[in-house]
A and B are shown apart, each in its own frame.
Chain A
């Protein structure tokens, strides 16, 4: 149990932890990434891996507050640029496919939303094009008859999540960064101007002194912050994904829905991945979250309605994964007020944002101006004063089961 030092300790080897580790290591910092399990197995290993460049549908099924698209889009624009050069930066393929995507609408109301969305996108410099149903079907004949309109965006895409996190960690390792798997962080205490982090158990226990702690523990972000005496309002939820066997039909674009939980794409191997934020049956932050038949059936019915050819495929498997949402559904990133050297980053769509947030955190840690304005996204807005609990502050611990409420 010797004490080691590091320039930064990163708690969580998900895509955000891996990205910031790579950014810091590449600019010469000695970083140590700690994970309680194998790296990239939680949100970042179960994610759909979509690169959301046009506006994301503003509400997942059951989500309480809509996302502020107008504020979110400039960030998406900035993230998009970084995905463009990521493979070069990481010196390996992570199956980035920027083949564009459709967001479809079926009802009049959804068509109106599509037009609003188009306006925000134009303002943020994200090029989208509005197509009526027939034009959308002409562009993608696999779309079904209920599609009334769609936006098309060249920049949409996806990457293989099973490759992105390892590639970032490898990049960090090439620059001297270290990753310790199966080393759960258990204690974080003030140590002079910096922090002392204790991870692992028994003979495998590690004690590390560091000026910088980066809390990127996804759904456990709040739990890690609490170790340092910081109470943050975060809501972990679990959602699920569905994969079909390989299909010979080719669909190279991402297809999403403006009003309902749906995202469909065909991955490099030929399988179709169907998701859209449908709730898992249960969330189990200690093990594997359970999948729900109702969500499966609902998600598949929607997918088949929009893309009828899917009807002839077989379901290969399904899984659930956890993600951390903030009460306002916006990302959280920044240094914790009153806790110098303690940074947090997370929130939904962190896969899309991983390259941008890795760079942003590096800038913040180095005291340089970040590439995008994040002044309103800091953890301050989520902090609960000492002595208060999340519940006292009006945060409803939402029961994942309640998320079933909204359906087609």
Chain B
């Protein structure tokens, strides 16, 4: 009956063997392998170009003048296209149809597209983990990812004197990219204490490439005389029309200033959070990752979710970096090929990918262990956040309002706090403030809603649409009559 109704909806329905959402390293790796085995594959990405975060394509003019900063990304994209995968860029997947399996997308012009496949691969990546502080609304304050995009995509700098702050290995390559563009990186404030003399020794030990890479960045920053202030966090940013200074504090005492630095840009980020809206909307089971406090989809080694026709790969399944994302994409591709029995994947190839995946998972665990877990960080930062800090920028909700709601009748329930304070109800749908709101709720009402599993998942529920979509797109689904504004 549902299928009947849906058939009455207008708009193209694409039928494929595999539909992949997300054209980053994970989705591209899966697409290349599946399409080269002859499956009908469609890969969608909301961005105008494939590549995702790591392989983001430079603007043509930039590429001409400065070259491609990541040529391997360009080669991977070319392989995907050559293998015959249908590439739909500028396509946002914003929901799931009433049948629970047809994806709803809109193309660059806002026209609706519906897609069905025997296997869905969700490779939707991650978004940056931010935590508010007084002054974070000032122009010139951004995330490290944004600074990186400007640097890589447009060859443009975020500022001339920049402080990077937050936590995690990602701050280091961003600092290096900025230095390459001639920016003065005044310093890096890292909330944890990962950079000890032993790091380099560690890197040399078991050939963990990622640690060696980190050690390399540390060395480059040392040559540029960029100080790394460890166990340091941002207390506040000041400025009139734009940020002009940042005041830092010791992470252990996040309310007491230790130094103020003049800057014209400030980038703050605490790593990444998996983007799991679609997986959750499709009904895939999630579990809470204790260290990060994030909800991550439950998957098997091949990335297969609790729903047999859905795979979640790359950062969407848990943060692990570009190499892990590629390995996960390939593992899912192998699993699908095996199930489709069109081709037996050579045992050696399967083994190679599986062992790379395991090795990378170990390295990820090792690097993660160097940095403070986001959940623990949140527990120290949230109580220290000044009462009048704007936490939800979309709806202008301050920390004290969130605390009062959470401690009051919401009784520690994250979603009740959201509903009653409006934090997370704006156009970003809680992607920006969700982490902080969860921390504030927990800091004033430590008792999670009387022990049922769902309420311990510290993320806002996934609701259609994944991002705000034009009503005109929906009208097109309703059919031509509605579009003309006539009686139907």
Q: Taking beta carbons and an 8 Å cutoff, which residues of A are in contact with B?
A: 37-41, 45, 106, 144-146, 162-163, 166, 169-170, 179, 181-183, 200-201, 204, 244-245, 269, 281, 287-288, 291-294, 296-298, 300-301, 304-305, 308, 310-319, 401, 404, 408
Contact = CB atoms under 8 A, between A and B. Distances in A.
B12 to A, nearest CB: 16
Contacts of B411: 38-39, 181-182
Contacts of B6: 293-294
A293 B104 contact: yes
Nearest to B395: A269
B471 A319 contact: no
Interface in B306-336: none
A37 B95 CA distance: 28
A245 B427 contact: yes
B471 A182 contact: no
Given A182-B449, A294-B5, A319-B463, A314 B470 contact: yes
Q: Which of B95, B425, B485 has the most CB of A within 10 A?
A: B485
B409 A181 contact: yes
Given A163-B420, A318-B464, 16 more contacts: A38-B415, A144-B485, A145-B485, A181-B413, A269-B422, A292-B98, A293-B104, A294-B6, A296-B474, A301-B482, A305-B487, A311-B471, A311-B475, A315-B468, A317-B465, A408-B488
B341 interface: no
Interface string B444-472: 00000110001000000101110011111
B167 interface: no
A245 B468 contact: yes
Q: Which of A288, A293, A308, A310 has the most CB of B within 10 A?
A: A293
B278 interface: no
A314 B427 CA distance: 10
Nearest to A201: B450
A334 B475 CA distance: 45
A41 to B, nearest CB: 6
B347 interface: no
Interface residues of B, number: 44
Contacts of A319: 463
Contacts of B449: 37-38, 181-182
B390 interface: no
A305 B485 contact: yes
Q: Which of A169, A179, A201, A314 has the most CB of B within 10 A?
A: A314
B348 interface: no
Main secondary structure of the interface of A (DSSP, over half): mixed
Contacts of A182: 411, 449-450
Contact of A300 (B95, B104, B474, B485): B474
A38 B413 contact: yes
18 contacts: A40-B416, A162-B419, A162-B420, A181-B409, A204-B450, A245-B427, A287-B454, A293-B6, A293-B477, A294-B9, A304-B485, A311-B471, A313-B470, A314-B470, A315-B474, A316-B465, A401-B2, A408-B488
Nearest to B429: A317
A181 B406 CA distance: 12
B262 interface: no
B427 to A, nearest CB: 6
Contacts of A401: 1-2
Given A41-B419, A297-B478, A404-B5, A313 B95 contact: no
Contacts of B474: 296-297, 300-301, 315
Given A182-B411, A312-B472, A317-B429, A41 B416 contact: yes
Interface in B275-300: none
A40 B98 CA distance: 27
**Which 5 residue pairs across A and B have the least CB separation, nearest first?**
A38-B416, A301-B482, A182-B450, A38-B413, A181-B411
A153 to B, nearest CB: 25
A316 B469 CA distance: 7
A318 B98 CA distance: 14
B455 to A, nearest CB: 8
B9 A317 contact: no
A314 B413 CA distance: 29
Q: Which of A38, A170, A288, A311 has the most CB of B within 10 A?
A: A38
A45 B471 contact: no
Interface string B422-434: 1001010100000
B97 interface: yes
A167 B241 CA distance: 39
B9 A314 contact: no
A16 B273 CA distance: 40
B119 to A, nearest CB: 22
Interface of B: 1-2, 5-6, 9, 95, 97-98, 104, 395, 408-411, 413, 415-416, 419-420, 422, 425, 427, 429, 449-450, 454, 461, 463-465, 468-472, 474-475, 477-478, 482, 485-488
A162 B419 CA distance: 7
B478 A301 contact: yes
A315 B477 CA distance: 14
B115 to A, nearest CB: 14
B295 to A, nearest CB: 15
B113 to A, nearest CB: 14
B465 A315 contact: yes
Contacts of A297: 9, 474, 477-478
Contacts of B1: 401, 404
Nearest to A166: B409
Given A38-B449, A169-B409, A182-B450, A301 B475 contact: yes
A300 B410 contact: no
Given A287-B454, A318-B464, A308 B485 contact: yes
Contacts of A166: 408-409, 420
Contact of A314 (B454, B471, B486, B488): B471
Contacts of B104: 293
A318 B463 contact: yes
B472 A311 contact: yes
B471 A315 contact: yes
B477 A316 contact: no
Contacts of B450: 182-183, 200-201, 204
Contacts of A37: 413, 416, 449
B105 to A, nearest CB: 13
A95 to B, nearest CB: 12
A39 B468 CA distance: 28
A170 B410 CA distance: 12
A308 B429 CA distance: 26
B461 A288 contact: yes
Contacts of B413: 37-38, 41, 181
A284 to B, nearest CB: 12
Contact of A244 (B97, B408, B471): B471
A72 B96 CA distance: 39
A122 B478 CA distance: 38
Given A304-B471, A315-B471, A298 B478 contact: yes
A99 to B, nearest CB: 21
Contacts of A315: 465, 468-471, 474
Contacts of A106: 487
A269 B454 CA distance: 30
A157 B420 CA distance: 21
A40 B482 CA distance: 36
A311 B464 CA distance: 18
Nearest to A36: B450
A301 B415 contact: no
A163 B1 CA distance: 39
Given A310-B471, A313-B471, A305 B5 contact: no
